[in-house]
Amino acid sequence: MDDIKAANKKIAELALGCGANHATILSADQVVLDDVFRDICKTNACGNYGNCYMCPPDVGDIHDMMDIMRTYRLGALYQTIHALEDSFDYEGMVEAASRHVKVSQDLEDKLRNMKPGPYLHLSVGGCNVCEVCTKRDNLPCRFPDRAMASLEVYGVDVYQTAQNAGLKYINGQNTVTYFGLVMIKEA
Ligand code: SF4
């Protein structure tokens, strides 16, 4: 257990080094799962439902994905916090999501060097690696080894999970907070 804990501490440190504002380790039983997030995706408020390979329905059945999540033992949860002009600043939120994805992709590079065994790395919704997902034109994914699903796609209740891990879900007025999660099985 000590080795896997140390590996997760290292991942949390790497996340901070990549620009995350906060990061902490958490055990699998602190990750709260709920299939209700698939119903929320189906409302397509973000416009990505059926339009991104890393979003439903293409990404896979939520119960299968929750089962995959349950195979991991320990993880590192990280967050980035971004200032907005006001709470209706949609452009600011989109830009903030891109900045968060940059942190996640930098961390992904470091994880590949670290090689912590099989791991699952999740970030903010809609993948966001490409400006427009090729799914919209029914062309193959441009970067299958870079594409990243969201925590919600795997059924993670980010609010409850962040609370369990001691991270704030909301970090002040006129800010938006995005999360990333790396789960590992062994050190
Ligand atoms: S990497 Fe690009 S093409 Fe592939 S799922 Fe992500 S946004 Fe879509």
Each residue's pLDDT tens digit, 103-130? 999 999 999 999 888 999 999 988 889 9
At 102, list the tokens.
């940059």
Give yes or no for residue 165 CB within 6 A of ligand 1.
no
As a whole-number percent, the residues of the chain with pLDDT over 90 amount to 88
Class of residue 104 by CB neighbours under 10 A (exposed 0-12, middle 13-18, buried 19+):
buried
Using the predicted structure, report yes or no on whether residue 4 has a pLDDT greater than 90.
no
Confidence of residue 68 (pLDDT cuts 50, 70, 90): very high
Which of 49, 53, 48 shows the shortest CA–CA distance to 139?
A: 53
Distance 55 CA to ligand 1 centre (A): 10
Confidence of residue 166 (pLDDT cuts 50, 70, 90): very high
- Which residue, by CA, sits nearest to atom 4 of ligand 1? 141
Give yes or no for residue 141 CB within 6 A of ligand 1.
yes
Domain positions in the chain = 2-184
CA distance 120 to 37: 19
Using the predicted structure, report yes or no on whether residue 171 has a pLDDT greater than 90.
yes
Distance 162 CA to ligand 1 centre (A): 26
This model's pTM is above 0.85? yes
At 175, list the tokens.
């800010």
For the chain, the average pLDDT equals 94
CA distance 24 to 14: 11
Class of residue 150 by CB neighbours under 10 A (exposed 0-12, middle 13-18, buried 19+):
buried
Distance 60 CA to ligand 1 centre (A): 15
